[in-house]
Amino acid sequence: MLAGASARTSLRLGDSVEKASPCREAAGHDFWLTGLQVLSTPGQVQAIRQVRPDHAEGVIDVLLNPKEQVQFLDLGDVGAPLKEGRDMWIIGSAPELLQVAKDIAEALKVPVLAAAAEAVAKQVENNGSTKAATFLIGEELRTVTLLAVPPAQSRVVCKARPDVIAKQMQGKIRGKDILIAVTEENRLATGLAVARCLPPFASKADTPSPADATVRFYGAAPGPMLEKLNHMATAVRLAQGLVDMPPNFIQPATLKEFVLAATKGLDKVTAHVIEGTELRDKGYGGLWNVGKSADQRPPCLIALTHNPSGVSADSGPVGVALVGKGITYDTGGAALKPREGMCGMKRDMGGAAGVFGAWLAAVKCGGLPTGAPLHCVLCIAENGIGPGMFLNDDIIMHYSGLTSEINNTDAEGRLVLADGVAHAVKNLGAELIVDMATLTGAQAISTGKHFSSILASDEVLEKEIVDAGRKSGEGAHPGLFAPELLLSEFDSEFADMKNSVKDRSNAQSSCAGLFIYKHLKHAGHQGRWIHCDMYYPSFLGEYATGYGVGLLCAQLGVV
């Protein structure tokens, strides 16, 4: 960190220079620089790029043009990366791992690799077992790290065990070649799990030189899935970067500009933005009230549509709408969070990041298999504090036509999503509406840290989304879809409903989803609905997971 720099000063390796930002280096003076990028040796700043909340171009460039990529490639010569001077990971269940290691050992005449594989395959722990083999290729030492993945032992856990891959490989694949040796049914989940292990955003002076990771599959060629995996991996890492970036980088305006930049030039795609007081004037009372107090950071609703066949909803609901909660920072508003509860609330836009990543990947993969419209609705705001903030006891009017009596300004996600799903009904005519959000801390009490809590309007749809979770490695488990039992938790004497439950021990996470469902139905929706509360699965340790991209692409039939 430069002398006198505050915690807002940030550094990143490997970017080019556009222009320098003015700063004051005297001790005690605050820097307003963000997004500093190191161009040479660690710790030696030669030039900087301006990346400020009111200058979105730098943020957009970092996200859309990351200095490190995760690339899925054809197998080719299995030992080529080692010959070219790169180290390797081999991952898979014990039998497949043993076979590929023996094949490489034989081809390169390095018996130590086969011996290491036999050792690691003998006893595979529940958290996975690893062993490294180091040997000479020519005059250079190369290392192959073997990860034996244990089998799933229950019907709800993904057989690829992406949780093991995350624990063992997070942050360890930079510059490496990763060889995946798994059965066909586990390729998608394993590939996406590996893609998450190279975090796209960092802000440190001492950062390694950028280096891509390559991923190949041993065995039958993945065929058309290879291109789709590349699109999905890019989308996962994009979602990770959005969530990991701090709130002085990602604010409502910068997120809006990023989304528009990311979709520019896509064929058959249209975008519509409702922003600031226009939300108020058009009746989006939930989104407007949550975001109105954030000074010079107006809330907005973005509606994206991919309609390759030009289908109209005039004759009835058609297509799919993905609706995401995009709270770029959540202070709790008037119901202010304590410090311990506020740190990490940059992640409160994880739902929007997930649905946008899924939508973007799906569009680049050709859209819905049916050719029907695929929409993405992003409800973007900062739940701030200030003179104009909404208050507990306020009554607000939603776009659905229902009113909410506010008894917790920190239960803001459901307020913005109520407007988002109503928009999808009234303006987009979608047959299936999916909302996704980091909605409640109670989600982990219901379904833990590896599974989102989902609600579905029918049993077939519920099974589809659960199966999609197992296929993609992004676990989803049913909550309690029982509006007749739970909606009374929101009873109000003065409005159609309150926004927070009376009894926090009564299926709280499911109740939050049903708040959205009531607005959806009142807006006139006659089709199907999925709700996904994914707060805890949206991050692992300090890093975002990009949750939602794989789950939704699998559920929609993109892969």
Integer Cα distance of 220 and 21 in angstroms: 52
Q: Are 202 and 226 in contact (CB under 8 A)?
A: no
Residue type, 224: P
DSSP code per residue over 106-161: HHHT-HHHHHHHHHHHHS--TT-EEEEEEEEETTEEEEEEEEEPPPP-STTS-TT-
Tokens of 185: 């049914």
414 in catalytic set = yes
337 in catalytic set = yes
Q: Is 493 exposed, middle or buried (0-12, 13-18, 19+ CB in 10 A)?
A: exposed
Region of 284 (left: φ > 0; alpha: ψ -120 to 50; beta: rest) is beta
Residue 339: count other Cβ atoms within 10 Å of its Cβ.
6
- ∠ CA 329-440-336, nearest 5°, is 50
DSSP code per residue over 508-537: HHHHHHHHHHHHHHHTT--SEEEEEE-TGG
Catalytic pick among 86, 102, 280, 337: 337
DSSP at 167: H
Catalytic pick among 159, 161, 347, 414: 414
Integer Cα distance of 378 and 363 in angstroms: 16
**Cα maximum dimension of the chain:** 80
| CA–centroid distance for 522 within its chain | 29
Q: Is 341 exposed, middle or buried (0-12, 13-18, 19+ CB in 10 A)?
A: middle
Residue type, 459: E
Integer Cα distance of 291 and 328 in angstroms: 10
Question: What are the φ and ψ backbone dihedral angles of 532, each rounded to 5 degrees?
Answer: -135, 110
- ∠ CA 548-554-559, nearest 5°, is 130
Q: Is 325 helix (H, G, I), strand (E, B) or coil?
A: strand
Closest CA to 334 of 388, 289, 295, 392: 392
Q: Which residues are catalytic?
A: 337, 414
